[in-house]
Amino acid sequence: MPPPNNNHFCTCSIIGTGSYVPDRVLTNDDLSKIVDTNDEWITTRTGIKERRIAAEGQATSDMASEAARRALAAAGITAADIDLIIVATVTPDMFFPSTACIVQKKIEAWNAVCFDISAACSGFLYALQTARHYINTGNRKTALIIGAEKLSSLINWKDRNTCVLFGDGAGAVVVQRMDDDAKEAPGRILSAVMGCDGSLTDLLKVPGGASAIPVTPENVDQRLNTIHMEGRETFKHAVTRMCQASEQALSMAGLTAADIKMVIPHQANLRIISAIAERLGIPEERTFVNLQKYGNTSAATIPVALDEANRSGAIQRGDVVLLVAFGGGFTWASTVLVW
Ligand code: ACO
């Protein structure tokens, strides 16, 4: 039986999950008509079979708001009960206002303070830990944490190295402070770690379109406003950092890999997930994978997967669950929960 919480935090629990993906499906075969690629290459190198693409005019906040509504319904609370909204995204609706403010308007959560977090694919776990600190100080009680991305807006559809990897979607959780006597509350967070190495910013980035290289017709022609990635280097760092972060979070919770019922990792590449599971000594059936359906949706992968694992019964009350992410920055993070 895991300890209730050894991380000097109040008991803070996920009380509801929700997710949303757009209807439009883009298959590997569809992509093979746009760039020089094929289903066999994409499947064997990544595990991805298809991804979802947002509809014309559908913004990140639209997907985020729908995921949020579903998480609120699952938690059995109303938008008025939310006092903090954090949206993790690298594809905000606009530079400002924050996507979290736009979500507040769309779901009418008028009692919330709202801001975004940018930590690429680690963004959701960064946001979850940030909310936990706010809740721990007593400053906030009930937070809505959303990972939402419209990565299709950052893709260079002529670059086969990147365009096959990404998709759109959103996932959300409601996190709440539990009473002092609720040490065994379901969904409680046991531990969390975050890390960053800003010396490696150049390996994965969208170089243009913001203050360093403002938009001009010339740099749009050069596709500077799209994702640039050194895939092989990113892969190596992802495996190393996700393993380290997992071990740190487990140790902080007083647990080992043998205690984990399910790992819900960032869904970037099946080979990354397999390498992590092997290094941690976790059997394949205890890793949750849905990237074949959605590709890499950056900050959305973990909350979408957590919601699917919850609703499908892949995780049950009392299960120890490990969440672990890696993304541009480089950033990484891991969280241990008891479901
Ligand atoms: N179809 C066919 N061939 C392709 C494709 C494609 N879609 N893409 C690349 N190739 C070719 C390359 O041109 C190269 O050909 P060459 O040998 O003739 O030069 C060959 O396939 C091998 O390319 P690599 O890049 O070495 O392939 P690799 O096995 O490394 O797989 C991949 C590439 C899938 C991108 C992998 O490196 C990866 O998953 N990296 C990590 C991604 C990740 O974790 N990102 C982190 C989070 S993302 C975020 O934060 C937003």
Q: Quote the pTM value.
A: 0.96
Q: Is the CB of 329 under 6 A from ligand 1?
A: no
What CATH code would you report for 188-338?
3.40.47.10
Is any atom of ligand 1 closer than 6 Å to the C-beta of 164?
Answer: yes
Cα separation of 141 and 80, whole Å? 12
Give residue 3's pLDDT band: very low, low, confident or very high (50, 70, 90): very low
CATH superfamily membership of 12-177: Thiolase/Chalcone synthase (3.40.47.10)
Q: Dihedral sign for Cα 242, 140, 178, 110, please.
A: negative
Q: What is the CA radius of gyration of the chain?
A: 19
pLDDT tens digits for range 236-254: 999 999 999 999 999 999 9
CA 238 – ligand 1 centroid, Å:
14
Helix (H) or strand (E) segment spanning residue 168: strand 168-177
CB atoms within 10 A of CB 157: 13
Higher pLDDT, 1 or 132: 132
Pick from 14-18, 63-67, 97-101, 178-182: least confident: 178-182
| pLDDT tens digits, 141-194 | 999 999 999 999 999 999 999 999 999 999 999 999 998 777 788 999 999 999
CB of 268 within 6 A of ligand 1: the answer is yes
Q: Where in the chain is the domain with CATH 3.40.47.10?
A: 12-177, 188-338
